[in-house]
Amino acid sequence: MEISILNVLGPVMIGPSSSHTAGAAKLSLTARSLLTKPFTHVSFGLYGSFAKTYKGHGTDIALVAGALGIKENDERLKRAFLIAKEQGVTYDFYELDLENTHENTVVITFTYTDGEKMEVVGSSIGGGEILIRKIQGFETELTMNSSTLLIRHLDRVGIISEITKVLADEGINIGVMTLNRKARGEEACCTIETDSYLTKNVVAELKKLGDITSVQAVNVE
Amino acid sequence: MYQNMEDMLRLSKEQQIPLYQLILENEMKLTDKSEEEVWKQLSMRFEVMKDSASKALTKEGKTVGNLISGITKKHYDYTLKDETVCGTFINSVMARALSCSEVNASMGKICAAPTAGSCGIIPAVLITLQEEKSLSERKILEGLMISSGIGAVIMKNATVSGAEGGCQAECGVAAAMAAAAVVYLSGGTDEMVMDSVAFSLMNCMGLVCDPVAGLVQVPCAQRNASQAINGLLSADLALGGMKSVIPPDQVVDAMYKVGKMLPLSLRETAMGGIANTTQGKKITKEIFGD
């Protein structure tokens, strides 16, 4: 049997809906983990069933909770609006028309204190599972079920082999890898899902490589 | 390696191990977790279940549209008065199932079992049985292991999603999982465990998913209460020696096929059934506007 009993009894979550509440919190929590600076505002563009029913399922509260770092099983989730006020964080919601995407999709845009923006697009695909589709305009397909590296770099010959060598030297196995670039020789984005915990050392070693813009590691328990 | 209930019966006989042990060993192999870790994870989930099954008994939850706020406390007060038709045991089970539903709808913490919408059935049945028969924590966790092992097999061969299979796939499967644990905890054989699963699913075959305003409240809370009782009576039918004429795996298959045959309007879209009544539509309009 390839289904874990802990997926049958679970997740432990804040109700009422695994896709509209737990999944929503997980989406914005993931987006938050990719921030590089403090933020003051977060915008949520809602599509499909998210846009139609978000009030009834507390999707709005869950999204704000995730942006504040509150997990889908944390009872503070319910008080997210209040906590945002206490922390001086503002937020807004708007409806979106997207084509060919999953019913429960959200565009999350953080505004840093310096006015710069960070945008993540993701979908809640059921049972609390999520899919991150876009990070800062780069297409991805991250489930965030394993520890993930997000590397922004210049598109040039050999850079991927240098990245994978660092991982091999650290004994890290690559599960899934995606690579996207804006244009030949321009900015590119590489996402790597791994089987191991990503240490600060791994991130530091990757940053030492030439033509790397940024390296971010998101570890999953 | 097992794929269905027939495999489970055969393997536990061949290997001469209890059913829960077969499920435990599969889980350890699948997830690389130690035995201790698996028990710990189950125990952690049971704690969440206990909290959600008691929280709304005495304290009203605030739910969107207030469709089920306070229904648990009201039913629990009635249960305590000892003037019920079905008796204190049955009514306590229903009150606890309602509590989980009310806690879930008011953004409290629950354990999906197998889904958030059906989170009250297994806790209500197991906690009340534990109280009634003074069962040890370890025994209850063995029951929970059997419940979730059965749930995994149904998830694999059918579905536990209301959007795919209707309420029979959510609350019906939860009833079947609860029945399996009850039969084990009452000293029934492994065959009886599987028969109780078959009875539970037969008893609610075709049950549609029709939540008013798309909210996990009405008739979800009532279905949690009634399917908890379905699980209990199905366990008794099996324990009394009744054999399922149809092999349990074939009943699961039938449930899946019936789910697929249900029109979209009766699969969690709030477009049919109770949701589509005059009052149901009025409530939707009041909460969400047009």
8 A C-beta contact, residue B149 and residue B194: no
Query: pLDDT at position A167, please?
Result: 96
8 A C-beta contact, residue B209 and residue A50: no
Chain A neighbors of B177, CB-CB under 8 A: 8
Q: Please give the distance of CA A88 from its chain centroid, rounded to a whole number.
A: 22
On whether any CB of chain A is under 8 Å from the CB of B242, the answer is no
Residue A177 phi/psi, 5-degree rounding, is -135, 135
Contact call for B111 and A77, based on CB within 8 A:
no
Contact call for B116 and A57, based on CB within 8 A:
no
Domain limits, chain A: 5-142, 148-218
Contact call for A9 and B147, based on CB within 8 A:
yes
CA distance A199 to A147: 10
Tokens 């009052």 -> residue: B279
**Amino acid in the structure at residue B8:** M
CA distance B178 to B144: 8
> Given 3.10.105.10, 3.40.50.620, 1.20.1250.20, 3.30.1330.90, which CATH number is that of A5-142?
3.30.1330.90
On whether any CB of chain A is under 8 Å from the CB of B202, the answer is no
| pLDDT tens by residue, B57-66 | 999 999 989 9
Chain A neighbors of B122, CB-CB under 8 A: 9
Residue B255 phi/psi, 5-degree rounding, is -60, -45
CA distance B60 to B263: 35
Query: What's the complex ipTM?
Result: 0.95
| pLDDT tens by residue, B253-274 | 999 999 999 999 999 888 999 9
Residue A176 phi/psi, 5-degree rounding, is -130, 140
Chain B neighbors of A75, CB-CB under 8 A: 108-109
Task: Output the DSSP codes for A90-103.
Answer: EEEEEE---SS--S
Query: pLDDT at position B200, please?
Result: 98
Do you find a cis peptide bond into B18, omega within 30 degrees of 0? no
Least CB–CB distance from A56: residue in B108, B160, B288: B288
List chain A pLDDT tens, one digit each, 221 residues: 999 999 899 999 999 988 899 999 999 999 999 999 999 999 999 998 888 888 888 999 999 999 999 999 999 999 999 999 999 999 999 998 877 777 789 999 999 999 999 999 999 988 888 999 999 999 999 999 889 999 999 999 999 999 999 999 999 999 999 999 989 999 999 999 998 899 999 999 999 999 999 999 999 86
On whether any CB of chain B is under 8 Å from the CB of A146, the answer is no
On whether any CB of chain B is under 8 Å from the CB of A6, the answer is yes
Average of per-residue pLDDT across B58-87: 96
Domain limits, chain B: 44-139+163-288
8 A C-beta contact, residue A174 and residue A193: yes
Query: pLDDT at position A97, please?
Result: 84
pLDDT surpassing 90 at residue B275: yes
Task: Compute the nearest-CA separation of A175 from chain B (Å).
Answer: 16
Helix axes B220-239, B173-185, angle to 10 degrees: 40
Query: pLDDT at position A126, please?
Result: 81
Chain A neighbors of B160, CB-CB under 8 A: 8
| pLDDT tens by residue, B91-111 | 999 999 999 999 999 999 999
Looking at every residue in chain B, the average pLDDT score rounds to 96
Place B186 in a pLDDT band, splitting at 50, 70 and 90.
very high
8 A C-beta contact, residue A129 and residue A123: no
| CA neighbor of A214 nearest in space, from A35, A1, A30 | A35
What the block records as the tokens of A154 is 């210049």
> Given 3.40.50.2000, 3.90.45.10, 3.30.70.260, 3.10.20.30, which CATH number is that of A148-218?
3.30.70.260
Q: Which residues are A181's β-sheet partners? A: A188
Place B290 in a pLDDT band, splitting at 50, 70 and 90.
low
Chain A neighbors of B41, CB-CB under 8 A: 6
On whether any CB of chain B is under 8 Å from the CB of A3, the answer is yes
CA distance B120 to A133: 34
Residues 4-23 of B with CB under 8 A from A: 23
| pLDDT tens by residue, B13-59 | 999 999 999 999 999 999 889 999 999 999 999 999 999 999 999 99
What the block records as the tokens of B248 is 């349990």
> B288: helix, coil or strand?
helix
Task: Compute the nearest-CA separation of A7 from chain B (Å).
Answer: 8
Q: Which residue of A has its CA nearest to B45?
A: A12
